[in-house]
Structure 1
Amino acid sequence: MAEQNRSSEEFPELTGSDLSANACTIVAALAAEEAILPSPIDLNINSTEQLELPPLEWSNYELVPTKIKLTNTGDTVILTAKYADGEHPVLKGGSLDGRYVFAQIHFHWGNTAAEGSFHTIDGVPLPLEMHVIHFNDRYETMDEALKQVGGVLCLVYFFNLKSSPNAFIEPIIANLKEIVFPDVVIKLTPFPIVNLIHIFTSDYFLYWGSTKSESRSHPMLWIISRTQECIDFHQLTQFRVLLDRRMRTITREQTPIAERENRHVFHVNPVTPCCNWTLSPLPHPKYRTDRWLVDRMEIDFGTPGMCQKFVEVLRQELQNKKAQFESGDEN
């Protein structure tokens, strides 16, 4: 692929065994030039470069904060949390230089269910995108960290529409009606931040980019889960009742998708060397209690032979269901 050939010429160490040995150094070295390039970008697995990194290390995400606040900023919804000293959720490992402390969560949605995400996938937007912002603990505040290359990282989760509501995000959805007006802040019953996300150490995308706030550019590292969260149509529509400072429904225009230019986008620790989909076709295990077999199976359909395995397991499940029916066991 042209993208991979170009990077091999610019960074000859990005091939063979040296790729793993120098991966963290390579990611850090790219920041000087690529962290100033604009985000968002279009993600396409065929134009990514596979990269092996140490696993991400997640700490304290399961702890219940002392306070949680939900705010309508007039532009988005922000969730912030207060923790006891030393108990903040922290992310480290991978290519990260130091410890990154959880700061806030905010959302990107659209005017219809056919749009909304900040990034696009294979040229197409998704209904909802959640950003989980962290900043390096060498800085006292996120505002200070935003001025520094490597000071802030953004965990990205995409949401796909499902027929069943997402119980994990319901504490937010149920309270959106309480913050319809801009600058309204409410307190929620505290719950672990991990309820809203899933933890991953492999099979994610990574790239450097920047966002703009007024006239200032904010460089950051983007870490993007291939596995999506779920939301149903009714839950999604609740975001579209919120009002901006003109007392109109928040209208979210799609931020222009930036050109890739010479930017590197990595597929980190892929679960298989052959992937056909940019996003994982399987939901996270926490959603796999519904009735569809494909939602419950630990199968990557990009792996050779997995389609045949799926058919075999499907036949076995149908036989089991038939046997249960004939025996009178409805469970």
Structure 2
Amino acid sequence: MLIIHFKRITSEWILLLFIQAVLSAEIPSSVKSQSMVSPYNYENVSAWGNLFPTCMGQQQSPIALNKDTIFYTERTPLRWIGYDNQPTEMTLGNNGHTVKLIGKWKNGNVPYISGGPLLDDYVFGQIHFHWGPNDTYGAEHTMHGFTFPLEMHMVHYKRPYGSIGNALKHVDGLAVVGILFTITNQTVVTTLDPVTDYLTYVSKPHTVSNIAPFRLSILGGIYSPMAFMSYSGSLTTPPCNEVVIWIVPIYAWPATSKQLSQLRSLQLQTHTRYNNRPLQPLNGRHVYFYKT
């Protein structure tokens, strides 16, 4: 009886999957829905460690970056290579926790960074954002005691590891450039427009949309001489792997209140208007300051 019952349920599931596949074919290719539900949220960050023990580790991010606790160093400048290359495709997605930008380039044209604290090339993987409930707070790192409303994470993986997934297994796997934003009174700012112009297409959790490809250099500021702070830390979301070389420029980029409002209008998985992790203890780590 149990075997027959199992076969009946299996047949029903096969039929349901077939119907779902047919219905999915009717959805426009420019907007797709994903059904994955993540087991963490920002309403109870202190509970992350229950499911992801590394989130209680000793090298967690973000941290407070203060001039009184940094070490000054001089190395080769941080170099941005290929950020003016035109991608062939670009997608924007709402994974229920943030909005993520991914691009595709022809072979050999994928942007990468090197120099500064990096001992190898780190290849561009994706960009995502963290924001708060208002225009004064929301970036994950703080700088000299100041808070910022938005932080953009440019995620790169070490070239020999081949992908972000493989890089997560290595202590030097990722290099993340954390760009802080401040609100400007200017009426027109184009830095974030290539992203915010498409947010309405991914307003609901677990949706992905193709967008018009653009050169990452349009995001602004990356070719300018850049003074920054760097330290060893972690992902700021579970599973909180401690595999990140953080690079945080000391100067904030401009954003408008409208752009922040557009980000806050996104429907996140837990219906919050923010997605920033609280500051984590430094635990004796060194933070290095790199001059231009």
For Structure 1 versus Structure 2, the TM-score category normalised by the shorter chain is 0.7 to 0.9
Aligned with residue 201 of structure 2, among 169, 178, 181: 178
The two structures, once aligned, show a CA RMSD in angstroms of: 1.8
- Aligned counterparts of 2:245 and 2:192: Cα–Cα separation in 1: 25
Residue 201 (structure 1) shift: 4.8
- Aligned counterparts of 2:144 and 2:83: Cα–Cα separation in 1: 31
Residue 51 (structure 1) shift: 0.4
Match of residue 129 from structure 2? 107
Map 1:298-313 to 2 at 5 A: none
- Aligned counterparts of 2:116 and 2:209: Cα–Cα separation in 1: 35
Q: Secondary structure at the match of 2:80?
A: strand
8 A Cα contact 1:212 1:218, kept in partner: no
Match of residue 38 from structure 1? 60
Aligned with residue 252 of structure 1, among 257, 274, 291: 274
**What letter corresponds to residue 189 of structure 1 in structure 2?**
A
- Establish whether residue 72 from structure 1 lines up as the match of residue 94 from structure 2: yes
- Aligned counterparts of 2:83 and 2:197: Cα–Cα separation in 1: 22
- Aligned counterparts of 1:217 and 1:57: Cα–Cα separation in 2: 25
- Establish whether residue 210 from structure 1 lines up as the match of residue 234 from structure 2: yes
- Establish whether residue 167 from structure 1 lines up as the match of residue 190 from structure 2: yes
Aligned with residue 263 of structure 2, among 232, 239, 249: 239
Match of residue 247 from structure 2? 223
Match of residue 319 from structure 1? none
More RCO (CA 8 Å, sep 6+): 2
- Aligned counterparts of 1:130 and 1:100: Cα–Cα separation in 2: 17
Count of residue correspondences: 234
Give TM-score, length-normalised by structure 2. Answer: 0.75
- Aligned counterparts of 1:140 and 1:163: Cα–Cα separation in 2: 42
- Aligned counterparts of 1:106 and 1:215: Cα–Cα separation in 2: 16
Residue 95 (structure 1) shift: 2.6
- Aligned counterparts of 2:126 and 2:58: Cα–Cα separation in 1: 22
**What letter corresponds to residue 76 of structure 2 in structure 1?**
P
What 5-or-longer segments of structure 2 have no aligned partner?
A: 1-56
8 A Cα contact 2:181 2:253, kept in partner: yes
Residue 137 (structure 1) shift: 0.9
Task: Call closer, same or farther: CA 1:128–1:202 in 2, change over 3 Å.
Answer: closer
- Establish whether residue 190 from structure 1 lines up as the match of residue 213 from structure 2: yes
Aligned with residue 143 of structure 2, among 107, 121, 127: 121
Task: Call closer, same or farther: CA 1:177–1:253 in 2, change over 3 Å.
Answer: closer
8 A Cα contact 1:76 1:107, kept in partner: yes
Match of residue 169 from structure 2? 147
Q: Deviations over 1:219-250 (max 9, x none)?
A: 2000111122111111110011111235x3x4
Percentage of pairs with the same residue: 31
- Aligned counterparts of 1:95 and 1:153: Cα–Cα separation in 2: 9
Q: Deviations over 1:265-308 (max 9, x none)?
A: 11112x5xxxxxxxxxxxxxxxxxxxxxxxxxxxxxxxxxxxxx
Q: Deviations over 1:144-186 (max 9, x none)?
A: 1012111101001111100123213112111111111111111
Q: Secondary structure at the match of 1:211?
A: coil
8 A Cα contact 2:232 2:245, kept in partner: yes
**What letter corresponds to residue 122 of structure 2 in structure 1?**
Y
Residue 44 (structure 1) shift: 1.3
8 A Cα contact 2:98 2:275, kept in partner: no
Q: Secondary structure at the match of 1:98?
A: coil
Q: Secondary structure at the match of 2:147?
A: coil
**What letter corresponds to residue 186 of structure 1 in structure 2?**
S
Task: Call closer, same or farther: CA 1:127–1:178 in 2, change over 3 Å.
Answer: same
- Aligned counterparts of 2:152 and 2:126: Cα–Cα separation in 1: 11
Residue 132 (structure 1) shift: 0.2
Task: Call closer, same or farther: CA 1:124–1:108 in 2, change over 3 Å.
Answer: same
Q: Secondary structure at the match of 1:238?
A: helix
Map 1:244-323 to 2 at 5 A: 244-245=268-269, 248=271, 250-252=272-274, 254-269=276-291
Q: Deviations over 1:5-26 (max 9, x none)?
A: xxxxxxxxxxxxxxxxxxxxxx
Task: Call closer, same or farther: CA 1:158–1:212 in 2, change over 3 Å.
Answer: closer
Map 1:18-57 to 2 at 5 A: 37-57=59-79
8 A Cα contact 1:36 1:219, kept in partner: no
Task: Call closer, same or farther: CA 1:48–1:111 in 2, change over 3 Å.
Answer: same
Residue 49 (structure 1) shift: 1.3
